[in-house]
Amino acid sequence: MDSMTWVVFDMMGTVAFAVSGAMVGIEKRMDIFGIVVLALLTAVGGGMVRDVLAGVTPPAALCNITDFMLAIVTAAVVSLVYTLWSISHRGKHLILAVYNIFDSIGLASFTITGMITGLSVQGGNPFVLPVLLGVITAVGGGILRDLMAQRMPAVLYKDIYAVASLAGALAASVSLPYMGITGMAWLCFAVVMVLRFGALQFGWHLFHPRPGRIRRRTRDKVL
């Protein structure tokens, strides 16, 4: 495992997801304890699931206080800034943009840490475990955040989200023999961010089944 690459993206993902978790807690009118809990779940939840699946026990987040402290401090800073900042109508749009940016950074960063963890322990197909751990790490914390906030997990319906993580992980796996760990990590980061911002900017979505489309078109032709 390239430890420096893992640490860089782990810290980026922790801070980014802690921001998104804290912002959801604020949106749900939670107190500071609830905001911190949501920030922690988002920041370390996916990584803990990843470590358990990879056979890394106890999970790294429980052995190193760094991620916990980063998430707690980040949640406190977000709460303080929100309290001191007078929110206008325009400011609400800015908050949404900030949330999407940090959520996307966390998604990309944790896809990479999950992949690197998978590459360090995998003993079979070089695609299956690293890719799956990358996606699980990326979306696991967000799922826990949304469940605690009584929202449908964004991964189940929101534009291009888990698919962006999956595409980045697959691109990284293919490029690994040619680019090495660091190169494939930045390629993965770029692919995820491009897909996420493309989805946010242009409204890209996966197929959503809707009832009666074919029947309505057939009836219109008959009439």
pLDDT, tens digit, 9 for 90 and up, residues 30-70: 999 999 999 999 999 999 999 998 888 888 888 888 889 99
| Confidence band for 218, pLDDT divided at 50, 70 and 90 | low
- Separation CA 14–CA 137 (nearest Å): 11
Place of tokens 């219109």: 220
In the structure encoding, which two tokens stand for residue 87, read together? Answer: 């929110």
pLDDT tens per residue, range 93-118? 788 888 889 999 999 999 999 998 88
pLDDT of 56: 84
Rounded-to-integer distance, Cα 125 and Cα 92, Å: 46
Q: What pLDDT shows up at residue 50?
A: 92
Model pTM score:
0.85
Contact 9, 109 (CB under 8 A): yes
Query: Per-residue pLDDT for 87 more than 90?
Result: no
Pick the residue with more confidence: 128 or 73? 73
Domain boundaries, the chain: 3-222
CB-CB contact of 11 with 103 (8 Å):
no
- What's the pLDDT at 70? 93
pLDDT tens for residues 6-16? Answer: 888 989 999 99
Helix 162-202 crosses helix 89-121 at what angle (to 10 degrees)? Answer: 160
Band the pLDDT of 220: cuts 50, 70, 90: low
